[in-house]
Amino acid sequence: MTHFEPFALDDKILGQGFEISQTLDQLRLEVFPPDARKTLKRFPVQEVATYLGTSVNNLKRLHLEGKGPVPEITGGGRRYYSAEQIEEARQFLDKTGKSASKKYVPQRRDNDKLQVIAVVNFKGGSGKTTTTAHLAQHLSLTGHRVLAVDLDPQGSLSALHGFQPELDKNLSLYDAIRYDEERKDIQATIQKTNFPMLDIIPANIELQEFEYDTPVAMQTSNEGKTFFSRIARSLEHIDPNYDVVVIDCPPQLGYLTLTALSAASAILITVHPQMLDLMSMSQFLLMLGNITRTLRDAGVAVEMDWLRYLITRYNPSDVPQRRMVGLMETILAQDILENPMLNSTAISDAGLTKRSLYELERGAVNRATYDRALDCMQTVNFEIQGLIHQAWGR
């Protein structure tokens, strides 16, 4: 038998890592050139009516009377609106709508606070990124000014919005919260997306530095000792520009997640109803609870308007999953969102081509599958939208 010849680990994995990354960069360059910008489909009138909170008939009437935006009409007589036109129609309805009491534009008013929603769970695959992307896009289509923040160094949320963390060399939130002089204003980290009312702060691997910098900074500076307020304080600079911020947290309970939670006004915990996922979530709750208690004892109370559990990738015909949901309902009661997000191939398939359900053309997958998934997604997102509006006292 031949013995192994020991080698230096760094030599080996640095070389291999570099080669894989080069080859993937090349592949991605071919598939998705760096200057390519994502575009957005047109939305059928039924969907538009849902986002506007009006009826299809009302939209048809407006169009026939020559009011508001002019939809594209296909051969079959179907009406389609661009996302920009949806917003145009909303502004039009808001100004001219029959009942003066009905507001079509849902943006914050008077003393309404900026809503900051942290989407968290330790477990990868619990649906954080999918939930964040669809919630942010839904809120933008329903007329809110939204900022999505990708706080996961893996950058999946950024990738879904057409950013390529390794190729594009975008700034990340790290640039706005770092402790040294390289720090930039948060405004410099914000990018537009293909949804007119949705901006994003993309992620890159540099975010991970915050996990290493913070313990050092805690020893040496006041800024370090108050690390948990860094996201909240940088968001203050852009507070008037948005109604809702949705943060996709990394799958770990590190300084980034804690800092996001300290900035949050609400917390959405995504959970796939399986035994291992639930066990991991209970660990997460205990750890998070203990850390926030320590913070509170130190005089820093983390206060939320609401907390909800969202059941994700649910398959109701799977008996063990049903049992886990039953167990959650018994213990968590009112804190579970009434509507779970069902498992759907429409969502996973769309994800493979870096698209969300809202970006998918109805014909791209089986129609019944698509309709069921979109219907479920709308229901979940409208329920969360209700909580946001409730926080504004509506």
Binding positions for Mg ion, rule: CB under 5 A: 128-129, 156
Rounded to whole angstroms, the Cα distance separating 312 from 326 reads 14
Q: Which of 126, 140, 257, 381 binds ligand ADP (CB under 6 A)?
A: 126
User: Does position 313 bind ligand ADP by CB under 6 A?
Assistant: yes
User: Does position 343 bind ligand ADP by CB under 6 A?
Assistant: yes
54 binds, among Mg ion, ligand ADP, none (CB under 5 to 8 A by kind): none
Q: Which stretch binds ligand ADP (CB under 6 A): 74-82, 121-129, 161-169, 213-221?
A: 121-129
User: Does position 214 bind ligand ADP by CB under 6 A?
Assistant: no
Closest approach of Mg ion to the CB of residue 156, in Å = 5
> Which residue lies nearer to ligand ADP by CB, 71 or 202?
202
351 binds, among ligand ADP, Mg ion, none (CB under 5 to 8 A by kind): ligand ADP
| Identity of the amino acid at 61 | R
Closest approach of ligand ADP to the CB of residue 53, in Å = 25
3-state secondary structure of 122: coil
Extract long-range pairs of 16-20: CB within 8 Å, 24+ residues apart: none
Rounded to whole angstroms, the Cα distance separating 187 from 260 reads 17
Closest approach of ligand ADP to the CB of residue 156, in Å = 5
Q: Which of 312, 321, 339, 385 binds ligand ADP (CB under 6 A)?
A: 312
Q: Which of 156, 339, 381, 385 binds ligand ADP (CB under 6 A)?
A: 156
DSSP 191-259: EE-SSTTEEEE---GGGGHHHHHHHHHHHH-HHHHTGGGHHHHHHHTTGGG-SEEEEE--SS-SHHHHH
Q: Which of 42, 79, 90, 128 binds ligand ADP (CB under 6 A)?
A: 128
Of 364, 368, 333, the closest CA to residue 349 belongs to: 364
User: Does position 259 bind ligand ADP by CB under 6 A?
Assistant: no
Closest approach of Mg ion to the CB of residue 251, in Å = 7
Closest approach of ligand ADP to the CB of residue 133, in Å = 8
Residues binding ligand ADP: number (CB under 6 A): 17
393: left (phi over 0), alpha (psi -120 to 50) or beta: left
User: Does position 339 bind ligand ADP by CB under 6 A?
Assistant: no
User: Does position 381 bind ligand ADP by CB under 6 A?
Assistant: no
Q: Which stretch binds ligand ADP (CB under 6 A): 165-173, 228-236, 328-336, 337-345?
A: 337-345
User: Does position 125 bind ligand ADP by CB under 6 A?
Assistant: yes
**190 with 199: CB under 8 angstroms?**
yes
> Which residue lies nearer to Mg ion by CB, 106 or 155?
155
> Which residue lies nearer to ligand ADP by CB, 56 or 307?
307
User: Does position 344 bind ligand ADP by CB under 6 A?
Assistant: yes
Rounded to whole angstroms, the Cα distance separating 194 from 140 reads 11
User: Does position 127 bind ligand ADP by CB under 6 A?
Assistant: yes
Strand partners, 87: none
C-alpha to C-alpha distances, 326 to 241, 320, 321, 323, nearest whole angstrom: 41, 10, 9, 5
Closest approach of Mg ion to the CB of residue 342, in Å = 19
- Cα 344–Cα 350–Cα 354 angle in degrees, nearest 5: 140
Q: Name, in order, each residue with C-beta under 8 angstroms of 309's C-beta and a sequence gap of 6 or more.
A: 269, 270, 271, 328, 332, 335, 336, 337
348 binds, among Mg ion, ligand ADP, none (CB under 5 to 8 A by kind): ligand ADP
Phi/psi of residue 247, nearest 5 degrees:
-110, 120
> Which residue lies nearer to ligand ADP by CB, 194 or 252?
252
* CB-neighbour burial class of residue 53 (10 A; exposed 0-12, middle 13-18, buried 19+): middle
Rounded to whole angstroms, the Cα distance separating 59 from 48 reads 9
- Positions 348 through 367 that interact with ligand ADP (CB under 6 A): 348, 351
Q: Name, in order, each residue with C-beta under 8 angstroms of 8's C-beta and a sequence gap of 6 or more.
A: none
> Which residue lies nearer to Mg ion by CB, 129 or 158?
129
Q: Which residues bind ligand ADP (CB under 6 A)?
A: 124-130, 156, 251, 312-313, 341, 343-344, 347-348, 351
